[in-house]
Chain A
Amino acid sequence: MNAAQIVMPALGPALPELILSVGVLVLILYGAFKGERSTEGVSVGALILLILALFAVVSQPFGAKVTTFNGSFIVDGFARVMKALTLIGSAAAILLAKEHFERERIARFEYPILIVLSTIGMMIMASANDLIGLYMGLELQSLAAYVIASFHRDDVRSTEAGLKYFVLGALSSGMLLYGASLVYGFTGTVSFPHIVTALREGSGLGVVLGVVFVAAGVSFKLAAVPFHMWTPDVYEGAPTPVTAFFASAPKMAAMAMAVRVFVGAFPVITPEWQQIIVFVSIASMALGSFAAIGQRSLKRLMAYSSIANVGYALIGLAAGTQEGVRGVVIYMAIYLAMTLGAFAVILSLRRGRRMYETIDDLSGLSRTHPWVAFLLAMMMFSLAGIPPLAGFFAKFYVFAAAIKANLVTLAVIGVVTSVIGAYYYLRLVKVMYFDEPAEAYEPMGPGLRIVLGLSSVVVLLFWLVPAPLVGLAGTAAKSLF
């Protein structure tokens, strides 16, 4: 190999990632030189970076499928939609965090920087076209997430959350890597398109074993049963804005990764992984719905809610069809709006320096803060899947895809568990509207208002103009098949 053969890879497809990477280095230098006073500036800078990256993602040529870096990085409709969702989630996490961290006196400039670095990892996951790229993106995302889980380092629960997340996350990364090594060993390649070709020529038990391990690693990152154990503790222990981040952007990336791996690399052995996904989906929906009933903490409730929601989204993946993937994309987009809205309300429950995080603290919210209570009630109705709110359509598309793929039992179980889940969502509404009011909370800050406002618009008005999101999701799904 001589110098003449070396060709500079095309950097254009990775423009959003490059904007974030270069920008974050500048922000680190700015923060390091200005010290703690730079927190505000770095937060604004990180927001601007995320918005610039979002523009770069949106302005990439639509419908085109471009690969670069020797085919290990792919930009197609699916990657672009998932990246846009991830960027929105990350930007919201920075907006939600500002006031909270300032009040808790833990505001430091590293938080937005770690969020941006984590976002780069998530975008690489969404664009991964081989196993190495997938793993590198995953590690970049997770490593930053472990650190921000224990961002409140003087709080025992926060450090415990970080440690738990780190140890279990390292274990799951190991499982994913082991599965990837088996797949590499039995197909002789790490590239997704080449794996497809290799599997067409015949697949053995070894590949299936590898897929099982990969599925275990992916389920952990998605917080799907039976790899969900860390979720409630980490969600409860981490500072609330960090919990909101965990429940939003990384879920988008993990789901993008799941779809990339199973639909992108293993479409030939769909029946094999379909069984796993069906089981994981049913178990997540059931556990998420039943275990949430006894919870008193809002953050734990949202943790179980996210487990159940991942279960519903996985129904679409289990279908393994283009319609199923479309359902997954729609579900994740609407889930993002609902979760961010709910967390904006949870973050607004404070008086002075004290945060209120239990369900009882919501009592009578409708009389002290009618608008906030109304919007939270709408989020809860939507999460429960009550028409005409967005959550209903999210479930509708995945269930419809499952029925078309002859997974009627799975769809029926989904409907049953969503009825069970409705109990605890509606209980919050009951507490807010019919219980005796507590003392009023402080008014919401501007960051929370923006996030709650935007997510409410999506949740309340999706049924009027569903076409843009459904069309976008359709194009995204089409690019994979």
Chain B
Amino acid sequence: MTAAAAFFYLFAAITVASGFMVIASRNPVVSVLFLILAFVNAAGLFVLMGAEFLAMILVVVYVGAVAVLFLFVVMMLDVDFAAMRQGFQDYLPVGGLIGAIFLVELLLVVGSWTIDPGLVHGPLAVSPGAETVTNTQALGLVLYTNYFFFFQVAGLILLVAMIGAIVLTLRDRPGVKRQDIAIQNARTQADAVEVRQVPTGQGVEV
């Protein structure tokens, strides 16, 4: 219990702190790295809650794909974030006011929010509890049976995304030097090396 609580505070503190650093740091690359740190710690929080599938998905999808994509975009586009931040001080009062209103609204909503007990034990709680099967198994049991149709359609959507990326970006440019492994492997010593006798005091014709 205490170990779990200690880890909770550790992960939570690092998540919040790195979340703050994402918006506070001046260098966008550093921001993205802090974002990755926040994701990893959030994954740790999920593990503590027993949602290990979500934790792994967070690491694989967000850290592995989305954050790396961000990093590439930040590195490839030369965005001047310092210029974008100009006028931050001027807009602070208005922005702060809107933020405060949102905070109050959020507190009011969450404070008065209760889950209908009928829903928890009613039609929504169809999946087996975490005591009997693991998350991944529980998802797999419905994903490949009840939701098999959606799973297949999602596959088709991803196929369209792949075809689309190729259609819109792949170009055959003439005159590009490509690496052809087959040709490289087919080279023998006889093709590549030529032994010449060099007469003393003279050069060789190449």
Contacts and interface: CB of A to CB of B under 8 A. Distances in A.
B161 A6 contact: no
Q: Which of B123, B145, B149, B154 has most chain A Cβ within 10 Å?
A: B149
B128 A1 contact: yes
A424 B108 CA distance: 55
A28 interface: yes
A117 B128 contact: no
Interface string B103-134: 00000000000000001001110001000000
B141 interface: yes
Contact of B153 (A110, A118, A124): A124
Contact of B124 (A72, A121, A140, A188): A188
A185 B159 CA distance: 31
Contacts of A132: 147, 150
A59 interface: no
A151 interface: yes
A188 B122 contact: yes
A129 to B, nearest CB: 11
Given A9-B148, A72-B150, A21 B156 contact: yes
Nearest to A151: B167
Contacts of A28: 159, 163
A70 B150 CA distance: 11
Contact of A69 (B119, B149, B166): B149
| Tier of interface size on chain B | 20 to 34
Contacts of A121: 153, 156
Contacts of B128: 1
A120 B168 CA distance: 21
Contacts of A117: 156, 159-160, 163
A120 B150 CA distance: 13
A139 interface: yes
B168 A133 contact: no
A136 interface: yes
Interface in B133-175: 141, 145-150, 152-154, 156-157, 159-161, 163-164, 166-168
B163 A110 contact: yes
By secondary structure, the A interface counts as: helix
Contacts of A1: 128, 141
By secondary structure, the B interface counts as: helix
A6 B167 contact: no
A144 interface: yes
Interface in A1-57: 1, 6, 9, 14, 21, 28
A147 B160 contact: yes
A239 B111 CA distance: 54
Nearest to A139: B157
A143 B153 contact: no
Contacts of B149: 9, 14, 69-70, 72-73, 133
A67 to B, nearest CB: 11
A150 B164 CA distance: 10
B167 to A, nearest CB: 5
Interface of B: 119, 122-124, 128, 141, 145-150, 152-154, 156-157, 159-161, 163-164, 166-168
Interface of A: 1, 6, 9, 14, 21, 28, 69-70, 72-73, 108, 110, 113-114, 117-118, 120-121, 124, 132-133, 136-137, 139-140, 143-144, 146-147, 150-151, 153, 162, 188-189
21 contacts: A14-B149, A72-B149, A108-B167, A110-B163, A113-B163, A114-B163, A117-B156, A117-B159, A118-B160, A120-B156, A121-B153, A124-B153, A136-B150, A136-B157, A137-B153, A147-B160, A147-B167, A188-B119, A188-B123, A188-B124, A189-B123
Given A110-B163, A121-B156, 17 more contacts: A1-B128, A6-B145, A21-B152, A21-B156, A69-B148, A70-B146, A70-B149, A117-B156, A117-B160, A121-B153, A133-B150, A137-B153, A140-B156, A143-B161, A144-B160, A162-B168, A189-B123
When A and B form their complex, which 10 residue pairs have the shortest distance between CB atoms, in order from nearest? A147-B164, A69-B149, A136-B153, A110-B167, A143-B160, A6-B145, A144-B160, A140-B157, A70-B146, A117-B160
